[in-house]
Amino acid sequence: MAKGSSKNIVFPEGFNVNKKRTGLGIALNEDRVIALKAEISSKGIVVLDADEQVLDSGTLGNGKINDLDSLLDSLKKLKKRMGFKAKYVTTNLPHQFYFMKRFVGPEGYFSASLANIEWEIKHHINGNISDYAVSTVNTGKTDNNKTNTIILASHHRVIDERSEVMTRLGLSLSAIDPDMLAIQNAIAVALSNSLEKMVMVVDASSPYTAFSLLSNGVFYPGGFFPTSKKILFGKDEQAVKEFAAQIVKVYNMAYRIMGLSMKKKKPDMLIILGRLADEAFNNDLASALDISLFDGNPFHTSTVKSKMKKSDIPWTSLIKPFGLALRTDHD
């Protein structure tokens, strides 16, 4: 754990607090772009500003940028309103554009050399490995003291496409993070001291819903599935029940290898984020899944404060750009 100097704030291991900076994160979502600025220092994180711009219909289609000019217009409007003068930014990769695979083994079992990573990943992607950017990260120890390593791959085309958007906006890309890792990092920094033993995180958005697990502080990637039209167009009781049933199904499939299922061992806490998240929906879903719902605010904790005067955007939508802003290493 990295420790802050003055207030003894405890940050998660791997988080860079040595350099005081203003981080900017921009999340390119299917129907809107959301930007967030945060001041990062060893004294804590202060959210300075956040705003969103709804995109014209069809600008993005299933995550793919169909109309670059329209997207740039929207981003420029956002930039003008927020008045950000940053040079660097971190943006996101939607769930459908990356592949994430967890490996478990004794310490030193998996050597993260390029050849090893490529060998592992090429058995899971339908494409030429040279077309993919690959990376690994050690996520911590399992309960039985084994090491979790995550291998990540994303097509260069998607990364280049999003990088070009930021370049044309006059920004340099500091990093590009998968949606689920951005959310995980935000939770790790803001909430790690106040979470239950096993927390399920659900990003209920369009066109996909994704989920992951945080067990004893260790991140376990889950998966994603197409969000049904029924829940997108009406969150009535029946639609929520069906949505919950789908989450149970994919959860059981994803974590079967870890011996987890909603029947045998369900999470202790549920965090629901994303476009679908609101108070009523979150309560209905938590009740359908019979899991306690997280009801705090990650922007008012011992490590994170907010200076935003008023924002109509709920924290459930801001958590992703917040996680992205934390990854920006320069102003």
Site string for another protein, 287-326 (x = CB under 8 A): ---------------------------------------x
Candidates 329, 326, 321, 331; CA nearest to 75 is 321
Choices 5-13, 19-27, 262-270, 303-311; region in contact with another protein by CB under 8 A? 5-13
| Burial label, 59 (beta-carbon count in 10 A; 0-12, 13-18, 19+) | buried
152 counts as binding another protein under rule CB under 8 A:
yes
- Out of 64, 85, 124, 307, the only residue in the binding site for another protein (CB under 8 A) is 124
Whether the Cβ atoms of residue 177 and residue 119 lie closer than 8 Å to each other: no
Q: Measuring CA to CA, how many Å separate 189 from each of 30, 40, 101, 193, 328?
A: 26, 11, 23, 9, 14
CA atoms within 13 A on the CB side of 235: 16
Residue (of 213, 188, 220) closest to 326 by Cα position? 188
Number of residues near another protein (by CB under 8 A):
56
Q: Which of 126, 143, 145, 309 binds another protein (CB under 8 A)?
A: 126
Which listed residue (66, 138, 194, 292) binds another protein by CB under 8 A?
Answer: 138
Of 248-277, which residues contact another protein (CB under 8 A)? 249-250, 253-254, 256-257
Looking up tokens 């969103």, which residue turns up?
Answer: 52
Which is nearest to 58 in space by CA: 49, 68, 48? 68
Q: Which stretch binds another protein (CB under 8 A): 30-38, 52-60, 244-252, 260-268?
A: 244-252
Q: Kindly write down the DSSP assignment for every residue of 47-63, as one continuous string.
A: EEEEEEEEPPTTSEETT
Residue 131 is classified by DSSP as G
> Stretches 53-61, 178-186, 284-292, 293-301: which one binds another protein (CB under 8 A)?
178-186
Member of 9, 11, 75, 213 binding another protein (CB under 8 A)? 11
CA distance 237 to 297: 26
Asked if 198 interacts with another protein (CB under 8 A), we say no
Binding mask 72-111 for another protein (x = CB under 8 A): ---------------------x-------x----------
**CA gap 145, 101 in Å, rounded:** 19
Q: Which residues bind another protein (CB under 8 A)?
A: 1, 11-15, 93, 101, 114, 122-124, 126-127, 130, 133-140, 150, 152, 154, 159, 163, 173, 175-178, 181, 184-185, 188-189, 192, 214, 217-219, 223-226, 246, 249-250, 253-254, 256-257, 326-327
